[in-house]
Chain A
């Protein structure tokens, strides 16, 4: 196991009865990087995070977090990690401040309360509110605060911007960037491609409990299916375009407007288009689901 990594798993296996949630996951997250962990629901993202925190025990394999084995030293690992669960549940009969104080007391009162108030202000959250009165977005803010409040060395964030409005999403992403600038490693899962592309240094795609690809976000987008909407000056026969490798015709209106699906680089298509009277080209970024489809076909 490499000690300079923030997270490393070796052939990590987790079974829930007959269900194989993780099937030999090998993962390496460098210290100080922002690592996006992507995959559709049920791929094993949350199971991985929970194995790393020792809230569940792997059936087989090994994990090392910040140089420690979570099963041997769970308290040591958790003391240096800030965790935001994908499904955050809080005591409904408590207030935001008392909830954060309870969670802070489990850390031995490590967090600076002035810093807590500062984050709450940034996220526009009133600490005096009762948990039962909070919207989903406001509950998520409580989750974000408790994960960041002790300035951890490693942040494990399961869908950190879920339920937040766009302005607060931006603020949370900014906090992640600031944490990275201070040397924090961030391991996060997300369904929003734009935020993964925006903040992640590297991305890992998990499929049925196995890591199928690790790359920079821009590489993933390049490799995935792109959609091109082309308008011609007059009706044309698109055969010369659909003959290009990796190009598929999705729709064609009156011969002047076509939509193509392009796998991989655009270069060959652009060259083929040189022979056509093109009026306008619009390209569309793939959704995460479309990216997954590419990897799931392989």
Chain B
């Protein structure tokens, strides 16, 4: 398991650095921009009042826009899951399927490592890589905090990242699960991406129309606090998202244990649909 874990981390190092440093720079810029924004508070307030309410909802709402939590949420954390979601969905859907489609998994799995250990090595490696990206980002936020009026304590600043980690982990494991259910990695990424986008828009809609909130509660985004978490994290929501990720991972592991590893390439939709039909007809293939 250690060998697979180390290899997973090793092949993610470029992504860790690129995503981590890129987002950390963005975070540092936003933290330092806070004082300028506060200087333009009245002008911006007037502008926002003239914005369509759909646009205001997109940035997380106008309420408390100039408070530290509202600012961080509106300017970064409201859309961060969409940006990093692309990364985690591609990484999650490719965690096993990328190697299977390229034909390397057939060789790796023919070595003396159990599928469970292989799976755990990959999952752990990915989770640590995601944690490392968010940690680098957190450093980017915290480092310039002393020279900014935002002045959020380092520990409080960690909470939005915990909330983000839980949401991203869920989308990654969803990508992984779909990659074991659907015939190809690309279809799994598309399906998970669709859930991400629909979930994001449900969250927007619920800000425009309170009656949508009940539906929003059925989407992962409904349990994402974003920047508001600096005022205190909802541990129930956090653990709920982590719990769903664990269930999704267990389902993926179960499917991986029972899977015939392909030599290379994608499964065809035709054979996939035929297999599903035979399964539903109770034919043992």
Contact A106 B3, beta carbon cutoff 8 Å = yes
Query: With the chains together, A46 CA to B264 CA distance in Å?
Result: 13
Q: A107 — which chain B residues lie within 8 A by C-beta?
A: 111-112
- Among the stretches A77-85, A177-185, A226-234, A276-284, the one at the interface with B is A77-85
Q: With the chains together, A85 CA to B113 CA distance in Å?
A: 17
Which chain A residues (57-79) contact chain B, with CB distance < 8 Å? 57, 59, 74-76, 78-79
Decide if B7 is an interface residue (CB 8 Å cutoff): yes
B111 touches A17 (CB 8 A): no
Residue of A53, A81, A105 touching B3 (CB-CB under 8 A): A105
A17 touches B274 (CB 8 A): yes
Q: What's the minimum C-beta distance from B283 to chain A, rounded to whole angstroms?
A: 10
User: Does any Cβ of A come within 8 Å of B50's Cβ?
Assistant: no
Q: Determine if B112 and A85 form an interchain contact, defined as CB atoms under 8 angstroms apart.
A: no
Interface size on B, residues (CB 8 A): 29
B113 touching A75, Cβ below 8 Å: yes
Supposing A17-B278, A89-B103, A90-B104 touch, asked if A46 and B260 sit within 8 A by C-beta, the answer is no
Chain B: interface secondary structure? helix
Inter-chain contact A55/B111, CB cutoff 8 Å? no
Give every chain A residue within 8 A of B112 (Cβ-Cβ).
Answer: 75-76, 78-79, 106-108
Residue in contact with A89 in the complex, picked from B106, B109, B261, B274, CB distance below 8 Å: B106
Task: Say yes or no: is A103 at the interface (Cβ < 8 Å to chain B).
Answer: yes
The residues of A that contact B278 with a CB separation of less than 8 Å are: 17
Q: How far is the CA of A90 from the CA of B105 in the complex (A)?
A: 9
- Count residues of A near B (Cβ-Cβ below 8 Å): 32
Cα separation A281 to B264 with both chains bound (whole Å): 48
- Give the residue of A18, A57, A83, A93 whose beta carbon is less than 8 angstroms from that of B110: A83
Question: A108 — which chain B residues lie within 8 A by C-beta?
Answer: 112
Contact across chains for B3 and A78 when beta carbons are under 8 A apart: no
Closest to B118 in A: A106
Q: Is the CB of A15 within 8 A of B285?
A: yes
Q: Assuming A17-B275, A17-B285, A85-B263, is B109 touching A55 (CB within 8 A)?
A: yes
- Name, among B103, B110, B111, B264, the residue most crowded by chain A CB atoms within 10 Å (CB to CB): B110
Q: Could you tell me which residues of chain B, from 8 to 22, have a CB within 8 Å of some CB in chain A?
A: 11
Contacting residue for A106 out of B111, B258, B284, CB 8 A: B111
In the complex, the answer to whether B111 meets A91 with C-beta atoms within 8 Å is no
Is B107 in the interface zone, CB < 8 Å from A?
A: yes
B107 contact from A18, A46, A76, A88, Cβ within 8 A: A88
Chain A nearest CB, measured from B101 CB (Å): 10
Name which of A16, A74, A89, A107 has the most chain B CB atoms within 10 A of its CB: A89
| Chain B residues within an 8 Å CB radius of A219 | none
A90 near B107 with CB under 8 A, answer: yes
Chain A residues lying within 8 Å of B3, measured Cβ to Cβ, are 102, 105-106
Q: Which residues of A contact B110 (CB under 8 A)?
A: 53, 55, 78, 81, 83, 85
Given contacts A59-B285, A89-B264, A90-B104, contact A103 B275 (CB under 8 A): no
| Structural contact, A55 and B106, CB atoms closer than 8 A | yes
B279 to chain A, nearest CB (A): 11
> For the complex, what is the distance from the CA of A78 to the CA of B260, rounded to whole Å?
16
Q: In the complex, which residues of chain A have a beta carbon less than 8 angstroms from the beta carbon of B113? A: 75, 78, 106
Contact flag A56-B261 (CB < 8 Å), given A17-B278, A85-B106: yes
B274 to chain A: which residues have CB within 8 Å?
Answer: 17-18
Contact B102 A56 (CB under 8 A): no
- Assembled-state Cα–Cα distance A53/B7 (Å): 23
Give the one of B3, B103, B108, B284 with max A CB within 10 A. Answer: B3
- Contact between chains at B106 and A75 (CB < 8 Å): no
A253 interface contact, C-beta 8 A: no
Given known A-B contacts A17-B275, A87-B263, A75 and B102 have beta carbons under 8 A apart: no
Question: Is B231's beta carbon under 8 Å from chain A?
Answer: no
Tell me the chain B residues, 248-285 only, with Cβ under 8 Å from chain A.
258, 260-261, 263-264, 271, 274-275, 278, 284-285
Chain B residue at minimum C-beta to C-beta distance from A102: B7
Instruction: Beyond A89-B104, A89-B107, A106-B113, list 5 extra A-B contacts (CB 8 Å).
Output: A59-B284, A78-B113, A83-B107, A91-B104, A106-B111
Task: Report, nearest first, the 3 A-B pairs whose CB atoms are least far apart.
Answer: A89-B103, A79-B112, A105-B3
